[in-house]
Amino acid sequence: MKKIFIIATVLISITVACKSKKVVSKTESKEASMDSQLTAVNARFPNTTMEELKKGHSVYTGACTKCHGTKDVTAYTEPRLLEIVDVMAKKAQITEEEKLALIKFAVGVRATSK
C-alpha cells in the first residue's frame, strides 16, 4: 500500500510539474489585440491613441450593436464601412468625435484580421 501511495504521489508530481505555466488571460489577449490594432490604425490615421480605439469599441458595442447586434466589420470594404458609418452616425446621433473613433476602431479590426 505504501509503494502504491509513493508511486501515485510521484506520478501526480510529475504531471503537475510538466503542465504549461503560461496562462494568458482574456484581458492580456485583448490588450495585445488592441496594441496590434493601434499600430495598424496609425498607418492610416497617424497619432491615433489607445483611448480613441477604446472609445470606438465602446461606440460599436453600444450604439451599433444595440440595434444591429454584432456585425463582422471585416465583411465590408473600408470605403463601404465609411459609407455605413456616415449614414448610421446621423441616425444613432453620435458625435463627430465618436464617429471618427468608430471608424478608427473598424479600420483596426479589419487590418488585424487578415
- pLDDT tens-digit map of 91-104: 999 999 999 999 99
**Residue spans per domain, the chain:** 22-112
How many Cα atoms sit within 13 Å of 23 on the Cβ side? 3
Closest listed residue to residue 57, CA positions, set 114, 107, 111: 107
- pLDDT (0 to 100) of residue 27: 43
Residue 64 DSSP SS3: helix
- pLDDT (0 to 100) of residue 24: 37
Query: pLDDT tens across 46-90, in order?
Result: 999 999 999 999 999 999 988 888 888 899 999 999 999 999 999
- pLDDT (0 to 100) of residue 21: 47
Closest listed residue to residue 103, CA positions, set 57, 70, 71, 69: 57
Query: pLDDT tens across 14-53, in order?
Result: 554 555 444 434 444 666 788 999 999 999 999 999 999 9
C-alpha 99/C-alpha 105 separation (Å) is 10
Could you tell me the three cell numbers for 105? 476602431
Could you tell me the three cell numbers for 28? 492580456
